Amino acid sequence: MERKASRAAALIALHGAGQPVWSPRDYAALAREGYARNPVVHRCVRMVAEAAASVPFLLYDGAQELDTHPLLDLLARPNAAQGGADLFETVYGHLLVAGNAYLEQVPNNGVPRELHALRPDRIKVVPGDAGWPVAFDYTAHGRTLRIGAETDDGIAPVRQLKLFHPLNDHYGFAPVEAAQVSLDIHNAASAWNKALLDNAARPSGALVYGAAEAANLSAEQFDRLRAELEDGYQGARNAGRPLLLEGGLDWKPMGLTPKDMDFIEAKREAAREIALAFGVPPMLLGIPGDNTYANFQEASRAFWRQTVLPLVRRTGLALGAWLGPAHGGALRLEPDLDAVEALSVEREALWRRLAAADFLSRDEKRQAVGYGVGPEADA
């Protein structure tokens, strides 16, 4: 009996031909500045990943739907530590933050028994002489394991999922990269606002000494004035405390006020652009706009139709092509649209139209909504 074990966990260095192509982006920086520090990016990634992970898969062998199958069991319980939704939330999160996601299968007698998600910043693609990937270098704790793209038995241990990148052959392009300028603006605006609040919500300025009897303050006067300003007038605890001026001193503002900068609108526009990059309608994030109930319903359906379901569908097709050959047959994974509550209005409208279509038989109506021929034939 072949023993199941994760090759990445073993971290045994294997040597092979080719050199790794190093990723041009810093996943850690994108994850830290985007997902970990920016509330808009964090919410967009959570919304897309959680929604996509909640969609179950249907398994087809050609045109026939399979209700029970070892592959469905594997996707429902991919490993001892995770359920299916947990694993796929991680996979979709990696895709959104890094543009790449990597899954490792642990086979037993040639059949996949476990699936594990590998962190994309630990994986480097190793291309061969023809340019196609021949291996993946997995690095952790200062050690590197080279995993071949295909074993002698024809099994691909690792599957790379990636989003389209127009300038890179081996790595995908993350939505957070497209929103990086807006992300920097949003983060900088938040940091500036925090600094302004720490400074008693006052814009920067200068104390001008304009006494006629002297052109400049003495060194002792300058040090005393600076100490008084730092101790008595800076910080949130001193907010609203009046500034006492003496001896020809005058306060001259040198910075723009939040109102002059149109501060709130600038943050909203940056948040809107971030949401656009992730395919999340801004009103679903609470960004002010045409937030009527009807528009919210339309935005929710657009979110599922244009963002979530295409991501789930391409992932299902990739997994079917990767794991299906071990079970034989033309296996195909498709998202179960009937399980998506946000599309219930569309389903009801379709059922009403089909119910009124007298020119269709009962079985034709069933096939039109994705069901097979019924157990009872039409009269």
Both 122 and 81 in a single domain? yes
Q: How far lies 320's CA from each of 6, 142, 317, 349, in Å?
A: 21, 34, 5, 31
Mean pLDDT of the chain: 80
pLDDT digits (tens, 9 = 90+) for 162-220: 999 999 999 999 999 998 888 888 888 888 777 766 665 555 555 555 544 555 656 77
As a whole number, mean pLDDT of residues 292-313 equals 88
- Matching residue, tokens 């034989």: 328
Domain boundary among the residues 254, 288, 320 is at 254
Domain boundary among the residues 236, 254, 272 is at 254
Give the SS3 label for residue 245: coil
Residue 190 maps to a domain: no
Residue 370 maps to a domain: yes
Residue closest to 157 by CA, chosen among 370, 30, 8: 8
Q: Which residues contact 55 (CB under 8 A, 6 or more apart)?
A: 308, 309, 312, 335, 336, 339, 340
Both 171 and 88 in a single domain? yes
Both 160 and 236 in a single domain? no
- In this model, does residue 224 exceed pLDDT 80? no
Residue 274 maps to a domain: no
Alpha helices in 54-137 (DSSP H): 70-76, 84-98
Write out the E strands in the chain.
57-61, 64-66, 100-108, 111-118, 123-127, 133-140, 143-148, 158-162, 205-209, 249-253, 331-335
Residue 259 maps to a domain: no
Written as one letter, the residue type at 348 is E
pLDDT digits (tens, 9 = 90+) for 234-287: 554 544 444 545 555 655 554 555 555 567 788 888 999 999 999 999 989 988
Both 160 and 234 in a single domain? no
Quote helix, strand, coil % in the chain, to nearest 5.
45, 20, 35
The band of 315, judged by pLDDT with boundaries at 50, 70 and 90, is: very high
CA–CA separation, 42 vs 34, rounded Å?
A: 7
Residue 302 maps to a domain: no
Both 68 and 162 in a single domain? yes
Domain boundary among the residues 219, 254, 289 is at 254
Domain span including residue 44:
7-177
Could you tell me how far CA 147 lies from the centroid of its own chain? 26
The band of 229, judged by pLDDT with boundaries at 50, 70 and 90, is: low
Neighbours of 78 (CB within 10 A): 23
Residue 319 maps to a domain: no
Pick the most confident of 137-141, 153-157, 195-199, 265-269.
137-141
Percentage of the chain exceeding pLDDT 70: 72
Both 76 and 156 in a single domain? yes
Residue 260 maps to a domain: no
Quick check: 243 and 166 in contact, CB under 8 A? Answer: no
Q: DSSP label at 334?
A: E
The tally of domains found in the chain comes to 3
- In this model, does residue 353 exceed pLDDT 70? yes
| pTM for the structure as a whole | 0.78
Both 369 and 222 in a single domain? no
Both 70 and 137 in a single domain? yes
Both 165 and 246 in a single domain? no
Residue closest to 372 by CA, chosen among 362, 155, 269: 362
Both 78 and 152 in a single domain? yes
CA–CA separation, 192 vs 206, rounded Å?
A: 19
Both 69 and 121 in a single domain? yes
Percentage of the chain exceeding pLDDT 90: 42
Q: How many residues does the chain have?
A: 379
Both 165 and 218 in a single domain? no
Residue 325 maps to a domain: no
